[in-house]
């Protein structure tokens, strides 16, 4: 049987090229998806997790658990300090530790003040994540290193003298003259990268942050060689509890990345779930395309296999021959697919890093499972794809198999069984998909999609041929090729359904990812807009007011889209300052249009509890305000001037004459501004308003860097969409080619009856365009529905979903599909037209 299999591979190599390409592209898609998972984790480790990327374990305090504890237990139950650091350092198996922390300071360079984040570098080379680009790290209390991004923008060089100052917790003003010893690589962390980073020595850090034990955001540690990291967690936990620490986590860097992303997404690991679902979708799509292609191929060989049986070959021998062919094709094609995926991913990430500087942290990771799983899956899928149709062919007698076989049609038993099962799968899957979307559970929704989509494909014979025929009649006119193409759709519904299914699978997947990704990004943008409610805030925490001329100039700066002047009008019962502004101006600066307070309402942060706020105006009048609670955790209460006047007795006129008036500015900036432009705008605002630069803050930098991370993930996924399109086109080309081979006698008979070569080509091209157009249109509709429901199930953790349909992209998918179907028909049509009628009628 091995010799027979090898002989068949050699003799019918042209047929197997189609299957080989389908398997190779399918497994490349799966391998690339798994690489995306690993690459996303590694890339996030180099951005969000840059402070602990090289560590073996990371210790963090669980402040959320501590928030639920009694007041008497805080803050000792979760705060990491010098005592905690020493306890970890003394554990057997720990080679080195480092406390990760930072402190806000002001930096005076060139006569101007800037805001910066001071931090210390680890002395251990493994734990040190600070990379020098020039100079050296500070060795004493009079030296600092500045990150390259801000050093370039503020013209800071090695050897320059800066003045660094801060206010300690005790209210003491501290100022130091320091020398720049080195320039460090810019941080990719969305939080720390939003400000100038100063690397300082431990003594200078303690002087700037104030006396007492240091408090750490996290503690990283390096284990000794050969130490089991999971086994090290138990003694670490014991040592930490002995210091009085009650709420904490001990994670590997990969586990900490998952925890950080989960914290950002509302406490659930949506990233891993989404990427896992994407990998499963890739596996299913690969299986459907390969099985469809192989089924057509084996069905076309049914007469050949039956003839071998009449010559004495046993069923087991025939099946073994087919499976050996499938095994060899699956193994070789899967290995080639993994190599193809590695090349594509490497190219995509290299282009991304070279063309988008903000995404230079994107890293290619090729884990073992990205090699082993696709090869095993591709080989197994090919074997299954060959087994099912080969088994079907072997189940009939040799003489019966030599006669044409009936397809599963609506009127026969096989067709009725298929329709019943299809309806059951569709109904059960649609119910699960809808339930998963409502509950915000991606796994349930994915299961529903996995049930419903095969149901749609099984029911394809009900609607695909008739739809193609109906559209063909409307568009064919009186042309003979058009009429024949329209008739072919219903004359052989099985063939039409098989051809359309190949494209329907790919287009549905592509449309689903386009709509889902666009909706997810829009929803994430709205979620970030709710968290970072204002792009820029100018607040120097003093009795500052600004002239109308200065406000006009700031509002006219390039990149500024809105400005609201907030004026102090009173205090809440709990002591919070309340500000008033014009509602229209407030609407122009908020990133969430749903957060504008109405009359009698006060806009407050998520830290406020209850439904109302007791407030007292500057003139002494009190009132009760209804709270409009936002998702932002750093926001002073804001009301409209109508509310300030009617409920607190404060008017614009009375504030204008108040010597103690204080103003805060909120600004909206253009979303298209890059990080450098935002920082330049920040400096220009500080100059015009005559305030220190660190008084100009806000969430624009953090929001922008989080958007950069999101864009990086979506761009890599978009790269995979190109592969998905390729899978669909390969499936169409395979099915059309095999269909033409199967129709050799039929096409030759048409030629013998008077159909010209040009008309034959036109007939096959028209048929391909009709099938491709219908499949693409239905795929877009189906994929959009899946995409929206999938996005809803994912975005349940973030809040309300914002529907966003990429209409132009979907129209492009339909156009590309039609053109691709036309292109796929060219070679088979030319081959069919070249064949002489007599020669074609004599072929088997």
Please tell me which residue, 576 or 720, carries the higher pLDDT value: 576
Task: Decide if pLDDT at 17 tops 50.
Answer: yes
- Residue 494's closest CA among 649, 356, 296? 296
Half-sphere exposure of 418 (CA within 13 A, CB side): 18
Burial class from Cβ neighbours inside 10 Å (0-12, 13-18, 19+) for residue 96 reads: buried
117 SS3 class: strand
- Residue 146's closest CA among 197, 107, 112? 197
CA terminus-to-terminus distance, the chain = 23
Q: What percent of the chain has pLDDT over 90?
A: 3
Q: Tell me the per-residue pLDDT of 660-669, one tens digit each, with 9 for 90 and over.
A: 678 889 889 8
| HEC-encoded secondary structure of 542-580 | CCCCCCHHHHHHHHCCCCEEEEEEEEEEEEECCCCEEEE
Instruction: Please compute the mean of the pLDDT values over residues 269-292 and round it to a whole number.
Output: 60
- Residue 269's closest CA among 634, 622, 797? 797
pLDDT, averaged across the chain: 77
Residue 568 is encoded by which pair of tokens?
Answer: 């102090």
What is the chain's percent helix, strand, coil content, to nearest 5? 60, 15, 25
What band does 119 get if pLDDT is binned at 50, 70 and 90?
confident
Task: Decide if pLDDT at 600 tops 60.
Answer: yes
- Residue 626's closest CA among 653, 597, 655, 660? 597
Strand partners, 98: 220
Distance in angstroms (rounded) separating the CA atoms of residues 58 and 94: 12
Q: Tell me the per-residue pLDDT of 127-167, one tens digit each, with 9 for 90 and over.
A: 887 888 898 888 888 899 998 888 887 888 998 999 888 87
pLDDT at 528: 67
Top mean-pLDDT range of 39-43, 582-586, 609-613: 582-586
Q: Tell me the per-residue pLDDT of 425-460, one tens digit each, with 9 for 90 and over.
A: 889 989 998 888 888 777 788 788 888 888 888 888
Distance in angstroms (rounded) separating the CA atoms of residues 259 and 45: 12
Residue 582 is encoded by which pair of tokens?
Answer: 């014009």
pLDDT at 18: 65
Q: Tell me the per-residue pLDDT of 783-833, one tens digit each, with 9 for 90 and over.
A: 899 888 888 887 665 556 778 888 888 888 888 888 878 887 777 777 777
What band does 179 get if pLDDT is binned at 50, 70 and 90?
very high
pLDDT at 102: 78
What band does 183 get if pLDDT is binned at 50, 70 and 90?
very high
Asked if 773 and 471 count as a contact pair (C-beta separation under 8 A), the reply is yes
Instruction: Please compute the mean of the pLDDT values over residues 70-77 and round it to a whole number.
Output: 52
Q: Which residues, other chains included, contact 415 with Cβ-Cβ below 8 Å and sequence gap of 6+?
A: 407, 408, 409, 461
pLDDT at 436: 86
């Amino acid at each position: 049987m091995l010799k027979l299999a090898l002989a068949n591979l050699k003799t019918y190599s042209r047929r197997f090229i189609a299957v080989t390409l389908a398997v190779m592209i399918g497994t490349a898609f799966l391998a690339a998806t798994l690489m995306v998972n690993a690459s996303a984790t590694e890339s996030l480790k180099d951005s969000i997790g840059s402070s602990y990327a090289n560590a073996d374990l990371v210790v963090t305090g669980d402040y959320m658990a501590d928030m639920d504890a009694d007041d008497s237990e805080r803050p000792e139950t979760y705060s990491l300090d010098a005592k905690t650091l020493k306890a970890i350092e003394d554990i057997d198996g720990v080679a080195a530790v480092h406390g990760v922390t930072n402190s806000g300071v002001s930096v005076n360079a060139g006569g101007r003040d800037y805001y910066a984040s001071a931090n210390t570098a680890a002395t251990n080379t493994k734990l040190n994540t600070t990379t020098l680009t020039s100079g050296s790290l500070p060795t004493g209390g009079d030296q600092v290193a500045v990150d390259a991004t801000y050093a370039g923008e503020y013209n800071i060089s090695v050897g320059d003298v800066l003045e660094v100052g801060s206010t300690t917790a005790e209210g003491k003003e501290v100022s130091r003259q320091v020398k720049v010893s080195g320039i460090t690589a810019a941080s990719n962390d969305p939080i720390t990268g939003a400000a100038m980073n100063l690397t300082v020595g431990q003594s200078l850090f303690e002087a700037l942050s104030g006396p007492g034990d240091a408090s750490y955001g996290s503690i990283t540690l390096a284990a000794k060689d050969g130490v089991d990291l999971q086994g090290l967690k138990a003694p670490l936990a014991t040592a930490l509890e002995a210091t009085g620490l009650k709420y904490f986590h001990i994670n590997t860097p990969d586990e900490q990345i998952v925890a950080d992303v989960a914290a950002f997404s509302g406490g659930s690991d949506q990233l891993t779930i989404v990427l896992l679902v994407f990998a499963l979708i890739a596996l299913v799509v690969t299986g459907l395309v390969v099985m469809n292609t192989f089924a057509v191929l084996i069905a076309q060989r049914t007469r050949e296999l039956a003839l071998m049986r009449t010559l004495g070959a046993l069923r087991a021998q025939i099946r073994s021959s087919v499976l050996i062919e499938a095994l060899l094709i699956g193994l070789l094609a899967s290995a080639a697919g993994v190599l193809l995926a590695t090349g594509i991913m490497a190219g995509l990430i290299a282009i991304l890093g070279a063309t988008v500087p903000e995404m230079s942290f994107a890293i290619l990771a090729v884990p073992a499972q990205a090699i082993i799983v696709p090869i095993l899956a591709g080989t197994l899928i090919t074997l299954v794809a060959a087994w099912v149709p080969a088994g079907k062919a072997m189940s009939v007698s040799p003489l019966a198999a030599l006669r044409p076989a009936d397809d599963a049609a609506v009127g026969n038993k096989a067709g009725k069984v298929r329709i019943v099962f299809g309806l059951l799968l569709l109904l059960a899957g649609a119910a699960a998909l809808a339930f998963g979307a409502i509950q915000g559970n991606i796994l349930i929704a994915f299961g529903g999609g996995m049930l419903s989509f095969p149901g749609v494909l099984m029911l394809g014979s009900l609607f695909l041929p008739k739809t193609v025929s109906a559209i063909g009649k409307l568009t064919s006119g009186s042309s003979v090729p058009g009429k024949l193409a329209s008739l072919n759709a219903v004359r052989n519904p099985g063939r039409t359904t098989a051809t359309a299914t190949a494209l329907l699978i790919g287009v549905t997947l592509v449309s689903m990812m386009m709509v889902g990704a666009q909706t997810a990004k829009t929803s994430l943008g709205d979620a970030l807009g709710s968290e970072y409610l204002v792009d820029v805030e100018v607040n120097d925490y003093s009795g500052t007011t600004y002239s109308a001329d200065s406000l006009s100039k700031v509002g006219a700066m390039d990149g500024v889209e809105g400005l609201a002047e907030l004026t102090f009008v009173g205090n809440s019962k709990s002591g919070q300052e309340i500000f008033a502004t014009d509602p229209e101006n407030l609407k122009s600066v908020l990133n969430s249009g749903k957060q504008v307070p109405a009359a009698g309402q006060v806009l407050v942060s998520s830290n406020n509890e209850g439904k109302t706020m007791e407030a007292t105006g500057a003139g002494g009048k009190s009132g009760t305000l209804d709270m409009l609670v936002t998702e932002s955790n750093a926001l002073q209460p804001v009301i409209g001037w109508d509310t300030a006047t009617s409920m607190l007795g404060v008017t614009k006129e009375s504030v204008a004459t108040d010597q103690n008036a204080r103003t805060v500015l909120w600004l909206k900036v253009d979303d298209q501004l890059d990080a450098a432009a935002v920082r330049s705008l920040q400096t220009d605002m500080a100059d015009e308003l005559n305030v220190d630069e660190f008084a100009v803050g806000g969430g624009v930098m953090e929001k922008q860097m989080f958007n950069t991370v999101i864009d990086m993930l979506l761009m890599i996924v978009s790269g995979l969409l190109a592969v998905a399109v390729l899978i669909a086109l390969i499936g169409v080309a395979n099915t059309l080619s095999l269909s033409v081979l199967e129709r050799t006698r039929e096409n030759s008979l048409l030629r013998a009856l008077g159909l010209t070569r040009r008309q034959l080509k036109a007939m096959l091209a028209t048929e391909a365009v009709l099938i491709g157009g219908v499949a693409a249109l239905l795929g877009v509709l189906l994929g959009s529905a899946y995409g929206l429901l999938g996005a809803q199930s994912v975005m349940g953790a973030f809040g309300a979903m914002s529907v966003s349909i990429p209409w132009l992209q979907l129209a492009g998918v339909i156009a590309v599909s039609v053109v691709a179907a036309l292109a796929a028909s060219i070679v088979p049509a030319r081959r069919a037209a070249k064949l002489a009628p007599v020669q074609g009628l004599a072929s088997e």
